[in-house]
Chain A
Amino acid sequence: MMNWIALSPELWMLATIGVFLGRSMMRPDAGRDHLLALVTSAVALGVALAGTGFSGELFAGTYRVDLFSQFYKCLLAAGFFLVVCLCDGMQGVREDLQAEFYLLLAVCTLAMMMLVSSVHLLTLYITLELSSYSLYILVSLRRDRARGIRAGLKYFLVGAAASAVMLFGLALVYGTTGTAYLIDLLAALPVQTGQPAFSIGLLLLLGGFFFKLAIFPFHVWAPDVYEGAANPVAAYIATASKVAAVGILVRLAVLGTTAYFVHVLAVLAIASMTIGNLAAITQTDFKRLLAYSSVAQGGYILIGILSMDPAGYAAATFYAFAVLVMKFTCFMVVVQVAVGDKNPTIEDLAGLHRHAPVMAMALMMALFGLGGIPPTIGFTGKLLLFTAAMAKGHFTLVLIAMINVVISLYYYLKVLRAAYFLEPSPDAPHVQETLPMKALSLAMIAAMVVIGFYPNHLIELTRRAAALIS
C-alpha cells in the first residue's frame, strides 16, 4: 500500500496546478491570481516543511522520499513562495496571462520536487523535461515579446540539445549496466567503474543537470535567458531551478567516484568559476551580471560535489540553500528597481540606500555572501565546500576558487558602489520600500547573517540529509 501522506507536498502542488488551470480559463484578474498564488505557495511551503520527516519508497521503487529529498523540497517550496512574493503588481507578464504564469510556475516547482525524489533514470528524465519545458514557456511569456521569444528560443535550443546529450548518456549507462534504478547502478558500480561507456554515459547524463545549473560548457544560455526573461522568472531560474539541479547532481554524483570524474568535475568547476566571474566583470545589465555570477556559483558547488564524500554533499546542499537566499535577495532588488518590464542596469541602483535602506542592506549582505565575505551565509557555505575539497587534497582547486572569489568581488563591489554611492539623476523614478518588502528584506538579512554566523543547525541538517545519499 502506498503511503500517500509522504507525497503531500507534491499533491498540494498538484492541487495548486489544478486551481490555476481553472483560473486560466476564467476572466483574467491579476490581483486575485497573485493573492491566490501567495496563499497556495505559502501553504506549499508549510506542507513541505511539515513533510521533512516523511520517508518511503514509492511507485515501485522509482521514487524515494527521504530527508534529503524533503530538504530540497522545502527549498523549492520556499523558492516558489519567495518568487511569488515578488509578483505583486507584476509588470513582466501580461495581466491576462498571469494565471498561466502561476500555473507554469507551479508545474515547474512540482516537477523539480519530483526530480529530487527520483531514483529511477526514467522518472529523472521526464521530470527534468517537465521542469525545463515549463521554464522555456515561462521565459517566452514576457510582456516584451520580442525579447521573451528570443530568450525562450535560445533557452529551448540549448536545453533540448543538452537533454539530447543527456538522453544519449542515459542510453549508454542503461546499455552498459542494464538497469535504470540508481540503487542498482550503485550496486553495479564496482564492476562498472572501469567501463568507458559507463563513464562517458554518466558524464553525458550529468550534462543535462549541468545545463540546469549553468555549468560550463552548458552555461551558454544563461546570460541571454536571464536578460530576456521577465524579472520574476529570472529570479525563479536563478533560485529554485538551481537548487533542484544541485539536489539531483548530488544524487547522481555518487555514481562517479573515479579519478576521471573528479578530474572532469574539477575542470568544469574551474572553467565555470573563471568564465562566470571574468565575464561578469564587464556587464552593465544587472541581470546579465547575475547570470554570470550564477555560472560561477555553480562552479563553487561542483567543488563540493567532486569531493565525493558526505561532507562534500552536505556542503553542496548547504550552499544550495545559501544560493537560494542570496540570489533571491539580488533578484528582489532587481524586481523592485525595475521600471515596468525593463531590465535594470547597475546604474539604476543609484540611490537605493536612500530610498530603500533595508533593501540596500539586504543587497549588500547578499553580494557579500556571493563574494564569500563573512559573516554571511555565502562565506560559511564556501568554507564548508573548501574544507570538504581540502580534505580530499584538492588544494590547488581551492586556491583557484579563492582567486575567483577575489575577482568576483570586483563586480559585486561595483554593484554595491552603485547602490550606496552613486547619485541618482533627480528625475529618475525611485523605489518605494513597501512594508512587506521591508519585512522580506529583513527576513533575508536575518537568514543570511544569522545562519552565516551560527550555522550549526543547518550544517547538522545537511549532514544528516547527505548521509542518506551514499
Chain B
Amino acid sequence: MTVLSLLFYLLALLIVASTGIAVTRRNLAHAVVYLVISFFGTAMLFYLLGAPLLAALEVIIYAGAIMILFLFIVMMIRLERIEGPLFPRRQMVPALVAAAVYLGAGILLMAYGDPAGNARLASASASPAEFGRFLFNRHWLAIEIASLLLLVALVGALHIGREPADAEEPQP
C-alpha cells in the first residue's frame, strides 16, 4: 500500500462519511455544510486521480456556487429544521428495496466484474492547458450546447422563480 493509496482510502472515508452525515441531518443548513466537506474531499480526490483542473472547478462550482445556492434557498424558505420522521416508512421501503438490489448488483459486479479493473492505476496528471486544448479541439460543440443549457437554465429560473405580479389564477 503506497501513500497515494492510503490517501485515497482516507479521502474515500471522508467523502462517504461526510456525505452520509449530510443526508441524515434534520437541519438543512448542517446538511449543506457537511456536503461542502464532502465536495472538498472529492476535489482532493480529483487531484489525486490526476485532474487538477477539475479539482479546482469542483471547489469553485460544486462546493462554492452550488452549495451556496442551496444555503440561500434554505435560508430563504426559513426551513432549517424538519419535523417528523427523517425517513418516513413508506418511502423507506422502496428505498431499501432499491438499495438492496443495487448493492446486490454492485457486489456481484465487484466479484465477477472486469478483472482488468483490479490493476492499480498509475498516477498521472493532465495539465490544465493540455486538457483545455483537448476540450476545445474535440468538444467545442458540447461547450456551445452547454452554454445554451445555461441560457435555458437562466431563462427558466427567471420565469419560474418570479412570481407574476398579478398572481394570475387559471383562466376559466
Report A's interface with B, CB cutoff 8 A.
Answer: 17, 21, 24, 58-60, 62-63, 91, 94, 97, 100, 103-104, 107, 110-111, 114, 122-123, 126-127, 129-130, 133-134, 136-137, 140-141, 143-147, 149, 152, 175-176, 195-197, 200, 339-342
Contact = CB atoms under 8 A, between A and B. Distances in A.
Given A107-B152, A200-B109, 18 more contacts: A17-B148, A21-B151, A24-B155, A63-B141, A103-B155, A123-B142, A127-B145, A129-B149, A130-B149, A133-B149, A137-B159, A137-B160, A145-B168, A147-B170, A175-B117, A176-B117, A197-B109, A340-B170
A127 B145 CA distance: 7
Contacts of A197: 109, 113-114, 117
Given A59-B141, A133-B153, A175-B117, A141 B159 contact: yes
Interface of B: 105, 108-109, 112-114, 117, 137-142, 145-146, 148-149, 151-153, 155-156, 159-160, 164, 168, 170-172
A157 B109 CA distance: 27
A152 B153 contact: no
A122 B160 CA distance: 28
Contacts of B171: 91, 143, 340-341
B155 A100 contact: yes
Given A100-B159, A143-B170, A62 B152 contact: no
B64 to A, nearest CB: 21
Contact of B141 (A123, A134, A340): A123
A62 B155 CA distance: 28
A62 B137 contact: no
Contacts of B112: 196
A123 B143 CA distance: 9
A201 B117 CA distance: 15
Contacts of B159: 97, 100, 137, 140-141
A464 B142 CA distance: 29
B58 to A, nearest CB: 16
Contacts of B141: 58-59, 62-63, 114, 123
Contacts of B142: 62, 122-123, 126
Contacts of B155: 24, 100, 103-104, 137
B116 to A, nearest CB: 9
A361 B140 CA distance: 48
Smallest CB-CB A-B distances: 6 pairs: A137-B156, A144-B170, A340-B171, A59-B141, A60-B138, A130-B149
Nearest to A176: B114
Contacts of B170: 143-147, 340-342
A326 to B, nearest CB: 29
A23 to B, nearest CB: 12
A146 B163 CA distance: 11
Nearest to B144: A14
24 contacts: A58-B141, A59-B140, A60-B139, A62-B142, A104-B155, A107-B152, A110-B148, A114-B141, A126-B142, A126-B146, A127-B145, A129-B149, A130-B149, A133-B156, A134-B152, A137-B156, A144-B170, A145-B168, A175-B117, A195-B114, A196-B108, A196-B113, A339-B172, A340-B172
A134 B150 CA distance: 10
B109 A140 contact: no
Contacts of B152: 104, 107, 130, 133-134, 137
